[in-house]
Structure 1
Amino acid sequence: MTSDIKRGVSLYSFQHETFQGKMTLEDCFRTCADMGALGIEVIGEQTFWGWPEATVDEAKIEEWHALIGKYGATPVCHDFMLDYKRYKGRMMSLEEQVASVRKDLDFASRLGVKYVRALVSIAPEVLVAAAPYAEEKGLKILIEVHAPLHFDHPWIIRHAEAFEKSGSDALGFLPDMGMFLFKFPPVWKERFIRNGVPRNIADYIEKAYEDRVLSEYVILNVREMGGEGPALGMAETLRHNAAFEPKRMLDYMHRIHNIHGKFYQMDENLVEPSIPYDEIVRVLKQGGYKGYICSEYEGNRWIEDAQEVDSVEQVRRQQAMLKGLIGEPTPTALAA
């Protein structure tokens, strides 16, 4: 069954290769185009050096648009940060926060995207105050619903209520699929073992996560098993991750316009072993979602101590998986 869901890539997926100078911006575009993933999501700080402290040179913006045209891509989303708690050693005022958001909206407009991603820590009153400016720019501000938060969390409910009360359609949500972590990622487990966690403790934590044991009990039990340091760090991950229900997106689908296809590992069989993408895509189809799922690979940091990172291959595998789940038709070869 086909759907209107589209495939894209967050260039954050290639952060390892970008930082090491192994991939240029054009390499990223070419790679995505080769996969048929034509939606491009970008983090300004990663792709445009100096942002947001410095104004990005117009030549860099022109390069961006030239690559969009060359590869037939679509600029989807600009992810901005607003680290308001570390502004000159004090909290930013509401007015300063709104001004910062407006600056990112201006930048997003230069990039030609439709959406901007707001961090989940940003208060709803900031986004509501920035909404009229977003409307003027033809943009939507999407707060990222990211683990350990979820659609039933009071903070997200507070945003949803504020968005509805504002009456603005420029406010919405960007769900990160990492909140649907149904199993403890194998790459996490093996990294913790390499860091010194005894395998029996690692096995216990993995099983406890699958059994949905309360994280405080797991941490206590790990202490009683003699675990310390890395073992407690592994147990602590249970505080920040959980297997929330994909179906909870349905009540908010009218405000969901982009999705982070978070993943930590794609195996040779095109399966993400910890996140149920088959169920996720089924729910998105049920809700009539028509936006992009942008691959967001974050397994690099869990393997870089032991093996060469190949973000391109990992993203390629996820894109192949998504293509099948979405039901994207395969082009028919022209008859000779």
Structure 2
Amino acid sequence: MSGFQYGVSLYSYTDDIGTVMGLDEALEHVADTGATGIEILSESHIPAYPRPDTAWIDHWFARLERLKLVPTNMACWVDTSITLNHNRTEEEGAAQLAQDLRLAHLLGFRFIRPKFGVIDEELTPHPIWRGAVERVLDLADELDITIIPEIHAPTPIRHPVTEAYVDFIQKTGTRHFGLLIDTGIFQDRPLPYWPGETPEIRKAALSFLDGIKVPVEHLAEVIDYVPFIQAKFHHIDEKLHDHHIPWDRIVPMLKKLNYNGYLSSEYEGVRDPWVAIEQVRRQHCLIRRLERETELSHA
């Protein structure tokens, strides 16, 4: 039974980067967890995006080599509504994707996660996504980068959005398009209320914060198309108990399905300075413990 690969999304530390620590220090904290993978937000973490200078690129690779980290996923965006009067065409969307594919390749990434503009509250991507992606599949193949749109609450696995992505993979036969599963879809307990949030606001627009409770068994229906997982979480206490995400069911299911890709920590809890560092460490300890326990139970 092969093991998971562990990574961290720098989104977990976004509020700290630039305020109480820099990018170099954030990478030090990633390495300190024992993780090997690093995931970034393109526009937030790359100076002068989309054209960082040579000195920054050299420093990027030098610090990754020193810390024994590898680039995994570069999150990027395809804003479909440029102005109130103009939506991107498929050709314009493809140009944006091509730009990000080339930048990801330059920086050593294996995946890009494009966030397309959506047309409803169920996160249905703008219809240009299919034509835009199809136009860059040859480039993705040439650069050996996989394009992985995110399955994120309130969109479950059994949903037309997910089905459309799977249909695209099956019809094109591509190996360079897949699904990124965000573990927030398995959340089964409510999150605390945000400042200023009322029960009425949550019921009307933010009900997914109570958890959409996707059964972990549904992973079996799509796992063949899932090369990368964002390990979303919000709070793990000092006893390594996650208050919202059922890792005790997720981890055994992933092991059963022989998933051996990355679990990339994505902390979205309290954003007080330094809290994310301890939270990410706790998550890695929790998942590693559950992985060992699952392996021992099947030995």
User: Taking structure 1 as the reference length, what is the TM-score of the superposition?
Assistant: 0.79
State the match for 1:130 in structure 2: 136
Match of 1:23 in 2: 21
**Kept after mapping to 2: 8 A contact 1:3/1:326:** no
Aligned residues: 281
Q: Does 1:314 align with 2:279?
A: yes
Measured in 2, the distance between the counterparts of 1:48 and 1:89 equals 30
Aligned position for 2:207 = 238
2:77 partner SS: coil
- The 8 Å contact of residues 128 and 171 in structure 1, kept in 2 or not, is answered as no
In structure 2, distance between residues paired with 1:326 and 1:61? 35
CA distance in 1, matches of 2:102, 2:44: 18
Q: 1:70 corresponds to which letter in structure 2?
A: R
Looking at CA atoms only, which structure, 1 or 2, has the larger radius of gyration?
1
Kept after mapping to 2: 8 A contact 1:128/1:163: no
TM-score between both structures, scaled by the size of structure 2: 0.88
| Residue 58, structure 1, aligned to residue 57, structure 2 | no
Question: RMSD across aligned C-alpha pairs, in angstroms?
Answer: 1.9
Q: Counterparts of 1:147-296 in structure 2 under 5 Å?
A: 147-185=153-191, 188-189=192-193, 191-192=194-195, 195=196, 230-235=198-203, 236-239=205-208, 241-296=211-266
The answer to whether the Cα contact below 8 Å between 2:156 and 2:212 also exists between their aligned partners in 1 is no
Letter in 2 for 1:77: N
Tell me whether 121-130 or 105-114 shows the greater mean CA deviation.
121-130
User: Within 2, Cα distance between the matches of 1:89 and 1:323?
Assistant: 50
| Aligned AA (1:27) | E
How many angstroms apart in 1 are the aligned matches of 2:35 and 2:88? 38
Q: Deviations over 1:204-232 (max 9, x none)?
A: xxxxxxxxxxxxxxxxxxxxxxxxxx231
Q: Deviations over 1:260-297 (max 9, x none)?
A: 11111111111211110121111111111111100001
Query: Where do 1:82-97 residues align within 5 Å?
Result: 82-86=78-82, 89-97=85-93
Structure 1 position 104 matched with structure 2 position 74? no
Number of the residue aligned with 1:327: 292
Gaps in structure 1 of 5+ consecutive residues: 198-229, 329-336
What's the secondary structure of 1:8's corresponding residue? strand
Distance 1:233 1:317 in 2: 31
Q: Is the 8 A contact 2:186 2:215 kept in 1?
A: yes
Query: Who is 1:8 aligned against?
Result: 7
- Normalized per residue, the structure richer in helix is 1
Secondary structure of 1:294 counterpart = strand
Cα deviation, residue 36, structure 1: 0.1
Where in structure 1 do 4 or more consecutive aligned residues deviate above 6 Å? none
Q: Quote how far apart the aligned CAs of 1:86 are.
A: 2.5
